[in-house]
């Protein structure tokens, strides 16, 4: 009882106002794993949320709060033996983490002071019922070298509504930067796993069936690290293909001008785009990129022209093209060319590197460099003048400052050779 009273008294000195910053951008795709430096200094345990000690909100009928009391159950690491059974979980500013009263949680956070754990930011603190991936990766055995691991849960969505049941016994294919395919199958919990992948960038093949596709994201694989990539199987009625990794928006524009443009449901990392339930009518297909550096982007049209008058007119009947056709762009007709970039030498490991494509006025493209990967791929308008540079974010900010390389100038041409960028000597 003394421990419980001490923790409750300590908790009462917290300000009671809770700011629910749901708009805060936060992403952490690295599951909890003891072998990762990212989590070794944290406290990781399971706990039952018993009471709020701050403001309470109603979220979809659930009582949630950013500051709570929790009863510790299983201690994995980082929780001293002399700590109390009841602790304070502080998920307040910045990037609030709210917790549901009465739920069991997998907790990952930093010890602030006796009996208080900060779980805000991108801590991956979450209810046990959604923590299946982290529970598998906890001890790090699934993430062991050589290579890295891609792991995730497959879900299904019907007409845009996510189903509760997982996608079990589903095959997923990932491609490396050379086009080699790696296949994994989801188990009874809907979780798939690919181990021993060489460091680099991988993308999932999105075309998964006659009427559904696998929606995911590009993934950077690091040696000895598990990375989570959730996959959602979504239905579609019309599809096409652009260039893998091109950042753009794809829209069907009604030629009559009576209805607004219809944006694609998705543009996947493998370059395929998908529409669902397109109303019957006549359209042109418009693709907008920001490679021209105008600030507003620039449209080109299917099958590959900037002139809307030369765009193909597409007649949609029963939500599809007659004959079951697809809207695949011919890469040779596109006014865009790939720009492969490589770091020489790879660097010291002190920084997270981004390769930036710079136009006359601003950054028009950016890719994250994965340690050990062969290269990154950017795109530019054919005949356009650009620069590329490295921007480094320190892995240990107190010790190192950001680092920027010299720029390399070039004009985009078809079949460009790899551009080699030297890591600045002062950043090694």
Q: How many domains does the chain have?
A: 4
Enclosing domain of residue 215: 144-235
CATH number of domain containing 172:
2.60.40.10
Per-residue pLDDT band at 269 (split at 50, 70, 90): very high
Is residue 321 reached through a cis peptide bond, with omega within 30 degrees of 0 on the bond before it? no
| 267, containing H or E segment | strand 266-267
DSSP 8-state symbol, 394? E
Q: Which residues of 4-43 are buried (b: 16+ CB within 10 A; e: fewer)?
A: eeebeebbeeeeeebebbeeeeeeeebbbbbbbeebeebb
Look at residue 301 in the predicted model and tell me its pLDDT.
93
CA dist 404 and 397 (Å) reads 15
Q: Is the pTM of this model over 0.75?
A: yes
314 and 348 co-located in one domain: no
Residue 317 belongs to some domain of the structure:
yes
| 373 compared with 71, residue with greater pLDDT | 71
CATH number of domain containing 294:
2.60.40
Tell the burial category of 265 from Cβ atoms under 10 Å away from its Cβ (0-12, 13-18, 19+): buried
CA dist 408 and 282 (Å) reads 44
Look at residue 25 in the predicted model and tell me its pLDDT.
55
When mean pLDDT is compared across 208-212, 297-301, 415-419, the lowest value belongs to 297-301
When mean pLDDT is compared across 97-106, 190-199, 350-359, 396-405, the lowest value belongs to 396-405
Look at residue 398 in the predicted model and tell me its pLDDT.
66
- CA torsion 216-220-222-225 (nearest 10°) is -30
Which of the listed residues 235, 266, 284 is the one where a domain comes to its end? 235
Per-residue pLDDT band at 347 (split at 50, 70, 90): low
230 and 315 co-located in one domain: no
Tell the burial category of 350 from Cβ atoms under 10 Å away from its Cβ (0-12, 13-18, 19+): middle
CA dist 148 and 174 (Å) reads 14
Residue 284 belongs to some domain of the structure:
yes
Residue 138 belongs to some domain of the structure:
no
Residue with tokens 């009471």: 51
Write out the DSSP string of 21-80: -TTS-----S---TTSHHHHTSEEEEEEEEEESS-EEEETTEEEESEEEEEEEEEEES--
Interval 410-426 mean pLDDT: 90
Per-residue pLDDT band at 122 (split at 50, 70, 90): confident
Interval 358-385 mean pLDDT: 88
Interval 85-109 mean pLDDT: 92
Q: What is the mean pLDDT of the chain?
A: 88
Asked whether the predicted pLDDT for residue 381 surpasses 80, the reply is: yes
pLDDT in tens, 402-412: 888 889 999 99
Interval 341-352 mean pLDDT: 75
Interval 179-187 mean pLDDT: 96
Look at residue 295 in the predicted model and tell me its pLDDT.
57
DSSP 8-state symbol, 308? G
Per-residue pLDDT band at 8 (split at 50, 70, 90): very low
3-state helix vs strand vs coil in the chain, percent to 5: 10, 45, 45
183 and 250 co-located in one domain: no
pLDDT in tens, 126-139: 999 999 999 999 99
Residue with tokens 């418009």: 286
CA-to-CA separations, 353 to 150, 177, 327, 370, 394, in angstroms, rounded: 21, 18, 35, 8, 9
196 and 274 co-located in one domain: no
Tell the burial category of 130 from Cβ atoms under 10 Å away from its Cβ (0-12, 13-18, 19+): exposed
Which of the listed residues 191, 211, 235 is the one where a domain comes to its end? 235
118 and 155 co-located in one domain: no
46 and 93 co-located in one domain: yes
Look at residue 1 in the predicted model and tell me its pLDDT.
41
CA dist 416 and 74 (Å) reads 55
Look at residue 75 in the predicted model and tell me its pLDDT.
97
| Residues 6+ positions from 360 with CB-CB distance below 8 Å | 293, 385
| 347 compared with 362, residue with greater pLDDT | 362
Look at residue 18 in the predicted model and tell me its pLDDT.
32
387 and 322 co-located in one domain: no
Which of the listed residues 105, 132, 159 is the one where a domain comes to its end? 132
Look at residue 399 in the predicted model and tell me its pLDDT.
66
Look at residue 29 in the predicted model and tell me its pLDDT.
93
150 and 121 co-located in one domain: no
Q: Do residues 170 and 188 make contact, with C-beta atoms less than 8 angstroms apart? A: no
pLDDT in tens, 28-67: 899 999 999 889 999 999 999 999 998 899 988 899 999 9
Asked whether the predicted pLDDT for residue 10 surpasses 60, the reply is: no
Q: Do residues 274 and 213 make contact, with C-beta atoms less than 8 angstroms apart? A: yes
């Amino acid at each position: 009882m003394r421990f419980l009273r001490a923790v409750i008294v300590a908790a009462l000195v917290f300000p009671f106002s809770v700011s629910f910053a749901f708009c805060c951008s936060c992403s952490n795709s690295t599951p909890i794993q003891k072998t990762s430096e990212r989590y070794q200094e944290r406290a990781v345990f399971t706990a039952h949320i018993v009471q709020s000690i701050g403001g309470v909100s109603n979220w979809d009928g659930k009582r949630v709060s950013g500051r709570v009391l929790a009863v510790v159950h299983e201690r994995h690491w980082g929780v001293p033996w002399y700590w109390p059974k009841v602790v304070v979980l502080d998920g307040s500013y910045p990037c609030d983490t709210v917790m549901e009263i009465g739920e069991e949680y997998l907790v990952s956070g930093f010890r602030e002071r006796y009996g208080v754990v900060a779980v805000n930011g991108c801590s991956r603190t979450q209810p046990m019922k959604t923590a299946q991936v982290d529970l598998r990766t906890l001890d790090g055995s699934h993430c062991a070298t050589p290579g890295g691991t891609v792991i995730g849960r497959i879900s299904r969505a019907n007409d845009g509504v996510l189903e509760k049941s997982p996608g079990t016994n589903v095959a997923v294919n990932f491609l490396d930067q050379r086009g080699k395919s790696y296949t994994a199958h989801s188990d009874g919990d809907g979780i798939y796993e690919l181990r021993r992948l060489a460091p680099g960038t991988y993308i999932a093949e999105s075309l998964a069936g006659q009427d559904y596709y696998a929606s995911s994201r590009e993934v950077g694989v690091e040696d000895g690290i598990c990375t989570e990539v959730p996959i959602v199987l979504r239905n579609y009625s019309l599809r096409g293909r652009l260039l893998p990794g091109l950042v753009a928006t794809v829209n069907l524009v009604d030629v009559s001008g009576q209805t607004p443009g219809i944006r694609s449901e998705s543009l996947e990392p493998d370059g395929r785009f998908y529409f669902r339930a397109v109303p019957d009518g006549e359209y042109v297909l418009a693709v907008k990129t920001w490679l021209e550096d105008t600030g507003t982007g620039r449209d080109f049209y299917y099958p590959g022209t900037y002139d809307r008058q030369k765009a193909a007119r597409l007649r949609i009947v029963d939500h599809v093209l007659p004959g079951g056709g697809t809207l695949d762009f011919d890469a040779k007709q596109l006014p865009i060319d790939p720009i492969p970039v490589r770091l020489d030498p790879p660097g010291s490991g002190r920084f997270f590197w981004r390769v930036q494509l710079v136009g006359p006025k601003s950054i028009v493209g950016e890719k994250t460099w994965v340690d050990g990967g062969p290269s990154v791929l950017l795109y530019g308008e054919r005949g356009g003048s650009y620069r590329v540079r490295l921007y480094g974010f320190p892995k240990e900010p107190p010790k190192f400052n950001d680092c920027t390389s010299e720029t390399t100038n070039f004009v985009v041409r078809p079949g460009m050779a790899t551009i080699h960028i030297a890591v600045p000597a002062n950043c090694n």
